[in-house]
Structure 1
Amino acid sequence: MRFGTFIPQGWRFDLVGIDPTEHWAVMNGLAQRADAGAWESLWVYDHFHTTPVPSDEATHEAWTLMAAFAASTSRIRLGQMCTCMGYRNPAYLAKVAATVDHVSGGRAEMGIGAGWYEHEWEAYGYGFPRIPERLRMLREGVDIMQQAWTTGRATLDGEFFQVDGAIVQPLPQQDGGIPMWIAGGGEKVTLKIAATYASYTNFTGSLEEIDHKSDVLRAHCDAIGRDFATITRSSNFNTIVGATEAEAHERLAAVKARLLPHLGQERADQAERDYLASPAFGSTEQVAERLAERERHGFGYAIHYFPEAAYDLSGIELFEREVIGALA
């Protein structure tokens, strides 16, 4: 199993109580710690407003952070889970990502998806197209990016994006371009796009659901003559661990108490239920076994979000020691 970790950037109220002038120091310190440790990759979210409720709390922009982490780290790979195709022209995005790849010495990953957070779409003036339209935007965008990263130019007269010889030079440092992570488990469109373009997929679900979606992905690969084994399947996990399950519950109570003033009781209760339902909640032994089970079902990459990261490293240290130590 390979492991990535999210760096808190405010989107999930995970920098509240910290002065905004200190945010970069906190985020960069966590990035450099991950760079020096057991993690293969670090990740940020591509969002502009806090979730599950918009607020005036800080949410730092993903690709600006990508460029900053590219310069401040030396080993760890850098990704976003995931960039929303509708937020940037894809030729421009390909240019930004190629520059980040050079700044980082060839460590960029491209997590990309159709987007879902209606409030920020509308607030930033992007409208909010229906799901089928957002998926067609995704299909056109990844085509443009792949052209850009393999040939240095992109041309497409699409329904949503029109580019005519857009030059993206220099090419990314990585042979074949920046690895593409196609996020989402939609069976008719998203996984079909993944079969064509992805080095990685990223979706969640029960063991039965991920087995089914894996079978769908395999069928899409077979239809175009691609080796299914060349795509690494990954999931994101909301992660709170303790030496015992009781300790994990104590940690969760502290997280809920921090969220409560910002979310209100109903949403804080829902957040608590979501953590309790996560395969990555519990004792380190429980979590390691659940991840191992997913590995037996073909998942090779786990990306972990620790809500405590900006405030308390002890849970992360425990995870690194007991879970990564057992499975990596």
Structure 2
Amino acid sequence: MKFGLFIPQGWKMDLVGIDPSQHWGVMAGLARRADANEDWASIWVYDHFHTVPVPSEEATHEAWTLMAAFAGVTGRVRLGQMCTCMSYRNPAYLAKVAATVDVVSEGRLEMGIGAGWYEHEWKAYGYGFPGAGERLARLDEGVQIFRQMWTEGTSTFSGRHWSTDGALCRPLPLQGTAQPGSKANNIPMWVAGGGEKVTLRIAAQYADYTNFGSGVPEDFQHKSEVLRQRCEEVGRDFSEITRTTNLDIVIGADEREIADRLSWLDDHMKGAGVPDAQRERRMEELRRSPGVGTAEQLVERLRELDGLGMRYLISYFYEAAYDTTGIAMFERDVMPELLDREQHGHLWHLRQEI
């Protein structure tokens, strides 16, 4: 199993109380921390403009600006978004941005992409809020434009929602062969979402990675079987796609420490002005989450998911901007039990040689 780490950017009100002038220092410090620990394969942010669980005037830093900034302050860890909303940016423009970030980061970009769902920010930014069918169709067409731009260096495409006419993408991404006519994705493509009729079909056609499920084994297993069926329908080898999931992690040495961390989060959301109904709903969801537990409990649950084919966990820690002891406990007591053995063994030998 590989591990990625979400960097707090404000979306989950996870920078509240920190002076905005210090936000970048906090984010950059956590990015460098992950970069220095070879057990973290990647760092991630969300592509959102307004906070959750309710929109507020608290800061939410923009994802692709952060991609370029993280590229400049790290040198090893890979950089991803979970996940970019296709309709927030013209796909030819986004492909150009991604190619530039890939060059700036020396080939470390992951491309997370999805149809988008946060109605409030869609309407607030003047994007309207089309139905799910149109949002998914835009996703499908946009991914095709990505492939043209990254593999051929140009795109001419006439779709129902997007069109290009000789759009140029130079320089090409550093990753992959990046040769004209190549069918390689170059930048790894993460198609996020578990929609069974359309999203998983798009994933079957184009994804290097999928991201779905809530960490509940039955849910992950079901979505995996649907993905397998969609791969059979489009003639894709199911084993070519790495299946991943996200988990909000609340870890403690015992039940008391877990309760203390949950109590801190409850108080934090109160202080951030989250209405009681939304706060109570979020806390109840979290208490039932597979990501809440002792190290031993988390290892057991993640091993079960690993047995079902979940090969990459993207971890989120609410308190990361204020307190890194939970991350440190996860690094010490959970990750070594589950790390990809081939990758970890290679890194171990490199450490010994150095």
Shorter-chain TM band: over 0.9
Alignment deviations for residues 269-309 of structure 1 (CA, whole Å, 9 cap, x no partner): 11211211211101111011101100001110100110000
Gaps of 5+ in 2: 177-183, 340-354
Q: Residue 212 of structure 2 is aligned with which of 181, 196, 203?
A: 203
Q: Contact between 2:213 and 2:223, CA under 8 Å: does it hold in 1?
A: no
Letter in 1 for 2:306: E
Q: CA deviation at 1:33?
A: 0.2
The answer for the alignment partner of 1:7 in structure 2 is 7
The correspondence of residues 37-56 of structure 1 with structure 2, limited to 5 A, is 37=37, 38-56=39-57
Q: Residue 225 of structure 1 is aligned with which of 235, 255, 259?
A: 235
Q: CA deviation at 1:24?
A: 0.2
- Give me the whole-angstrom Cα distance separating, in 1, the residues matched to 2:5 and 2:196: 27
Q: CA deviation at 1:264?
A: 2.4
The answer for the alignment partner of 1:320 in structure 2 is 331
Q: CA deviation at 1:102?
A: 0.5
- Give me the whole-angstrom Cα distance separating, in 1, the residues matched to 2:331 and 2:159: 45
Q: CA deviation at 1:71?
A: 1.0
Q: Contact between 1:256 and 1:271, CA under 8 Å: does it hold in 2?
A: no
Q: Residue 280 of structure 1 is aligned with which of 267, 274, 291?
A: 291
SS of corresponding position for 2:75: coil
Q: CA deviation at 1:246?
A: 2.2
- Give me the whole-angstrom Cα distance separating, in 2, the residues matched to 1:113 and 1:2: 22
The answer for the alignment partner of 1:24 in structure 2 is 24
Q: CA deviation at 1:225?
A: 2.3
- Give me the whole-angstrom Cα distance separating, in 2, the residues matched to 1:255 and 1:317: 18
The correspondence of residues 250-265 of structure 1 with structure 2, limited to 5 A, is 250-261=260-271, 262-265=273-276
Letter in 2 for 1:126: Y
Q: CA deviation at 1:113?
A: 0.3
Using structure 1 for the length normalisation, give the TM-score. Answer: 0.98
- Give me the whole-angstrom Cα distance separating, in 2, the residues matched to 1:233 and 1:53: 30
Q: Which runs of structure 1 show a deviation greater than 2 angstroms over 4 or more consecutive aligned residues?
A: none
The answer for the alignment partner of 1:243 in structure 2 is 253
- Give me the whole-angstrom Cα distance separating, in 2, the residues matched to 1:289 and 1:179: 29
The answer for the alignment partner of 2:180 in structure 1 is none
Q: CA deviation at 1:236?
A: 0.6
Letter in 2 for 1:28: A
- Give me the whole-angstrom Cα distance separating, in 2, the residues matched to 1:264 and 1:209: 30
The answer for the alignment partner of 1:62 in structure 2 is 63
Alignment deviations for residues 4-27 of structure 1 (CA, whole Å, 9 cap, x no partner): 010000011000000000000000
- Give me the whole-angstrom Cα distance separating, in 1, the residues matched to 2:268 and 2:226: 40
Alignment deviations for residues 206-237 of structure 1 (CA, whole Å, 9 cap, x no partner): 32222121111112212222211110000010
When structure 1 is superposed on structure 2, of 237-246 and 292-301 the one drifting more is 237-246
SS of corresponding position for 1:178: coil
Q: Contact between 1:239 and 1:275, CA under 8 Å: does it hold in 2?
A: no
- Give me the whole-angstrom Cα distance separating, in 2, the residues matched to 1:132 and 1:224: 20
The correspondence of residues 274-313 of structure 1 with structure 2, limited to 5 A, is 274-313=285-324
Q: Contact between 1:155 and 1:165, CA under 8 Å: does it hold in 2?
A: yes
- Give me the whole-angstrom Cα distance separating, in 2, the residues matched to 1:153 and 1:270: 47
Letter in 2 for 1:274: E
Q: Contact between 1:249 and 1:282, CA under 8 Å: does it hold in 2?
A: no
- Give me the whole-angstrom Cα distance separating, in 2, the residues matched to 1:295 and 1:246: 28
Using structure 2 for the length normalisation, give the TM-score. Answer: 0.91
Q: Contact between 2:266 and 2:279, CA under 8 Å: does it hold in 1?
A: yes
